[in-house]
Chain A
Amino acid sequence: MTITPGEIVALLGPNGAGKTTTIDMILGLTRPDKGTVTLFGTTPAQAVLAGEVGGMLQTGSPPQYLNVRELITMVASLYPHALDVDEVLKMTGTTEIAKRSTVKLSGGQTQRVRFAVALVADPDLLVLDEPTAAIDVEGRRDFWNIMRSVAASGKTVLFATHYLEEADSYADRIVLMARGRIVADGPPTEIKAKVGGRVIRATLENVPADELMTIAGVTKAERQGDGVTISCTDSGTSDAVLRELLTRYPAARDLEVRGVGLEEAFLLLTADHTDGANTLYGESSDRDGRELQ
């Protein structure tokens, strides 16, 4: 796997997929059993020394007895070409809490401060391991807006997440991992296309699902009460299916066409690498709970 400068890459996968291990190897915290990691043509350790990499680990709460500005100043002093501390506080939206003690921050504030710690080195590569794992929806949105504006300045960003929606919204490229392997790698749209793309929902009484299957291009048809759900391979076929559906059954209404969500793409792609799709889904939803839903 190669990441080119300026890319925003999401490392997506359930717990135990190997996201953190991959990130630890990139940062030089863990040595790979096989293969090598090269950052900017050198080793992770050298890149860290040169201040070319900023990392935000899954754990790594700021230590106590310092306020936010002092903490960032302390970390900045370690780097050869650190950013101005005020600048970093502004970029990460932590100016208002600069004088607050590091132990008196909310979850979202703590993550922004940790992001500032990673950013102060002015690194070319930012590596973020599940940066929004412990924060609420609003805090998460704030965080990603900040990350996006930082990335706009040309930095390369690699982030791990198991929030599918996050990878879809904020990355240019998604690397899907399961059980230590890359199972898919491409832009979010491409990953969706790989599993066929479109679902049509409609309200349509008195037509058996089997009859809908006779429309060319339909891969699956299901009925729930008065509603029907029709799956097709891609957007081209879904248009044709939609036309045929309306011609055959003018009574069809409440039409809705949507792309397959990343959730579904994720389940279909990772299912091949397990004993069965249900095993993976069952296991991960036990551990991840609502994140996977």
Chain B
Amino acid sequence: MNISVKILLTGTLVTLLLGCSGTGGESIDKSSDIVPVIPQITTTQKITIPPTDHPLLVQQTPVPNNEPLVMSTLIPNPLEQPSLLDDDLPDIVISMGSQIFSGNLDYTGPITTTNGTIEINQSDASPIIIQYRLPQQIGPIPDINFGTVKLISKNTPGYIHREILISDDVGLIFGQILKNTESPITIELGGPVSLAQSSVDGVTPDSSNSLVLVNVNMIDAGSVTTPIPISSPHSIPTTIGNIDVFVDISFYNKSNPLYSESFTGYSLDTWIVRKR
């Protein structure tokens, strides 16, 4: 912009200002100088979802407003020392401290047995306590103070795998096994003695009968010596001594597609006590 244009614009502006303010000799009401400041609502938006007067919309009384979604949490249950169920049926609990024991243990060393309790006194960890209630008419477990322990304990919402095998220098003296596998289950009791499930063929899934009993046999020196009845105590002489066996459960289950937690395979839950 050149200088002449600037001068022209400046002159015009001065003229306009003078013209605007020129009021001649008129008297001025000074009170009008106090101009109230009136804030304006400069922007007003409206978001309106038009209501309707249809009877089905207006005649129903709305329920009270919903509170914001609450996701309340529960206080953790206080830790309690694991214990047997409060009845007289067979039961067993393995604990370490105040927790259910979960894991594996291979141990040889001192063991303390009392009525209903076996204590495994590890030198480098808290003792593992096995509380048990034997099925009626088997046992009791003989007192021992030294032995070998093989322990597997795993608990999930979907299954329990529990193997407790306590042996002295002759063989198994106490066993409690809850096991689930795809093939028939065999349990070595020591020496030539074992427990073995039979195999099952031809089971079809059926909502009323997908779970069938499976025979269990005692095998000694390679030959079947005794079929074991299910859910009743049985005492068998073997080459390692007299053994009390209580097979609580022995079955084969074919997965049923209508059931949520389901599986195909063998299950065995059994108690074993060798008498001295």
Question: Is the A/B pair a real complex?
Answer: no
Interface residues of A (CB under 8 A from B): none
Interface residues of B (CB under 8 A from A): none
